[in-house]
């Protein structure tokens, strides 16, 4: 019986990520992933139930990278308005530090049947909800705020040359603030 190897699991996730960036999540196949890793396609199924599970685990890996970037950087004791600004700045910092990660997340999230939460919603949804309740943010569903922030930052991070983020931050804040 074959056993699982953590290094191989990571290589499979990395190959899937690279393929998503090259051709989009919908076009990725387990055959392509196996070929890119240099393993038999049947080995993919030692780690993942099917393609959907592979994509979900790739999404989870990218979400964990977002969370790891925020851990230790986010000051949850700061005033709420400062936390909201901090969130925007940290997501932008992550987008620059991990090129492509937000695109991979977005690509997978666009697929039918993918869980609806945005990656940053793990802790950002309650933050945005608090901002709405405090009257700092527009009284709209938190998902809309998160979508604006996530997508503007994702697009900004891909621009060459990239405009100064202070202007982009101001634009995001103008869109979501009350």
> 2 falls in which pLDDT band (50, 70, 90)?
low
Distance CA 13, CA 31 (A): 14
* Concatenated DSSP letters of 149-167: HHHHHHHHHH-SSPPPHHH
Residue 92 is inside which H or E element, if any?
helix 80-97
Answer yes or no: is pLDDT of 122 > 70: no
pTM beyond cutoff 0.75:
yes
pLDDT in tens, 74-100: 999 999 999 999 999 999 999 999 989
């Amino acid at each position: 019986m074959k056993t699982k190897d953590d290094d191989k699991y990571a290589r499979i996730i990395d190959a899937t990520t690279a393929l998503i960036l090259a051709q989009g999540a919908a076009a990725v196949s387990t055959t392509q992933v196996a070929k890119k890793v240099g393993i038999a396609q049947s080995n993919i199924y030692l780690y993942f139930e099917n393609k959907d599970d592979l994509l979900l685990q790739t999404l989870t890996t990218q979400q964990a990278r977002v969370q790891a970037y925020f851990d230790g950087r986010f000051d949850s004791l700061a005033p709420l308005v400062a936390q909201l600004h901090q969130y925007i700045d940290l997501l932008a910092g992550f987008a620059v530090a991990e090129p492509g990660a937000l695109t991979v997340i977005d690509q997978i999230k666009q697929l039918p049947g993918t869980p609806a939460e945005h990656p940053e919603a793990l802790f950002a949804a309650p933050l945005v909800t608090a901002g709405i309740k405090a009257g700092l943010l527009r009284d709209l569903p938190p998902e809309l705020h998160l979508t604006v922030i996530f997508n503007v930052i994702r697009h900004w991070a891909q621009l060459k040359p990239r405009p100064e983020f202070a202007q982009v931050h101001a634009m995001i804040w103008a869109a979501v603030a009350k």
